[in-house]
């Protein structure tokens, strides 16, 4: 990957989260002029600053809901990585006004500020839950995607794009640390539904996708990693097999408790909707969905669509164990 970040002024919103903080840590390696870390969590900003102790880091307390604060935060910035969002499906279901204020209005504030301040590149972080959404979080992230990618139509100086994530293994709030704690206590391991399926990616995959999108964007794209799928039941069993002996338990003694699907959850997720499949391009380790207004976009043949749908790989329990070791989760 080319170093497009050297001597650049970069802003990372939600910079104290699992993904935002990892973006910050990786960007340091590219010798940027400055990295502005924006978050509304004062304590986590302080701890991140203590961890990194780097003179190019600027810690900004602020909220993307505050239009004036965002305008100041993007002044003289070259690249923006937008990771700030409300991301928990069930919490957004019960707090829809806040989900709209952060994921939609906050994104619009940031996009407008970037256009006003002539930011060169903007990468927004989205989710597979934005595909055919049935919950508040997914619906707000879909509209966030549309704000970002459709703004690229009229933007003269800023190249806007999105990346679409699956579940990031071992991120804050994901099932991996929850399962780990439950196994440590001897169980039970709580499962919403035995048929629950998810796309997943490692933190390394996630950050690599974000940085590649910043390099490759021409404006208006959604970049999607070719992710693998797993059954949450299989993930739980793989973790029980690996962690139970470490905590002094026999894996066979760890029981399951089925608690039911939470509000707004799907059994399965999709990488793209039917319409997007027509405009998706395979570029190696990822797909790119280009906006239909692009002059180089043409509808794809049905066999192209079928191939992309069949390319998804399911991991079995042994595959999952291997991923857990490769990711240093075990």
Question: Among all residues, which ones are annotated catalytic?
Answer: 129
Q: How many CB atoms lie within 10 A of CB 91?
A: 17
In degrees and rounded to multiples of 5, residue 202 shows phi and psi of -85, 165
Distance between CA atoms of 136 and 107, rounded to whole angstroms?
A: 16
104 close to 84: Cβ distance less than 8 angstroms: no
Distance between CA atoms of 103 and 65, rounded to whole angstroms?
A: 9
Q: In what helix (H) or strand (E) does residue 320 lie, and over which residues does it extend?
A: helix 317-326
Question: Nearest-CA neighbor of 111 among 138, 84, 133?
Answer: 84
Tokens of 197: 């399926």
The C-alpha angle 253, 255, 257, rounded to 5 degrees, equals 170
The C-alpha angle 171, 173, 179, rounded to 5 degrees, equals 90
Distances (CA, A) of 126 to 101, 139, 166: 16, 11, 9
226 close to 285: Cβ distance less than 8 angstroms: yes
Tokens of 239: 């973790």
Q: Read out DSSP for 182-235?
A: HHHTT-PEEES-TT-EEEEE-HHHHHHHHHHHHHH--SS-EEEE--EEEEHHHH
């Amino acid at each position: 990957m080319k170093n497009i970040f050297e001597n650049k002024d970069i802003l990372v919103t939600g910079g104290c989260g699992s993904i935002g903080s990892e973006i910050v840590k990786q960007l340091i390696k590219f010798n940027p002029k400055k990295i502005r870390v924006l978050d509304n969590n004062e304590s986590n900003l302080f701890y991140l600053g203590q961890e990194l102790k780097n003179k190019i880091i600027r810690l900004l307390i602020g909220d993307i809901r505050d239009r004036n604060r965002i305008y100041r935060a993007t002044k003289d910035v070259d690249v923006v990585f937008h990771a700030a969002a409300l991301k928990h499906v069930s919490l957004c279901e019960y707090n829809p006004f806040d989900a709209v204020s952060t994921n939609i209005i906050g994104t619009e504030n940031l996009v407008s500020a970037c256009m006003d301040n002539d930011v060169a590149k903007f990468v927004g972080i989205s989710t597979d839950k934005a595909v055919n959404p049935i919950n508040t979080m997914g619906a707000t992230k879909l509209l966030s995607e549309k704000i970002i990618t459709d703004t690229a139509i009229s933007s003269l100086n800023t190249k806007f794009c999105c990346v679409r994530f699956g579940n990031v293994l071992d991120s804050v709030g994901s099932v991996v640390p929850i399962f780990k704690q439950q196994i440590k206590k001897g169980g039970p391991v709580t499962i919403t539904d035995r048929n629950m399926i998810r796309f997943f990616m490692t933190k390394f995959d996630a950050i690599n996708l974000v940085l590649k999108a910043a390099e490759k964007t021409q404006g208006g794209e959604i970049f999607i990693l070719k992710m693998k799928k797993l059954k949450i039941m299989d993930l739980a069993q793989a973790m029980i097999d690996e962690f139970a002996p470490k905590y002094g338990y026999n894996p066979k003694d760890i029981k399951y408790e089925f608690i039911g699907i939470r509000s707004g959850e799907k059994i399965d997720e999709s990488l793209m909707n039917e319409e997007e499949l027509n405009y998706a391009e395979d570029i190696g380790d990822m797909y790119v969905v280009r906006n239909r207004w692009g002059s180089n976009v043409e509808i794809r043949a049905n066999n192209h669509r079928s191939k992309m749908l069949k390319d998804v790989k399911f991991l079995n329990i042994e595959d999952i164990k291997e991923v857990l070791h490769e990711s240093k989760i075990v």
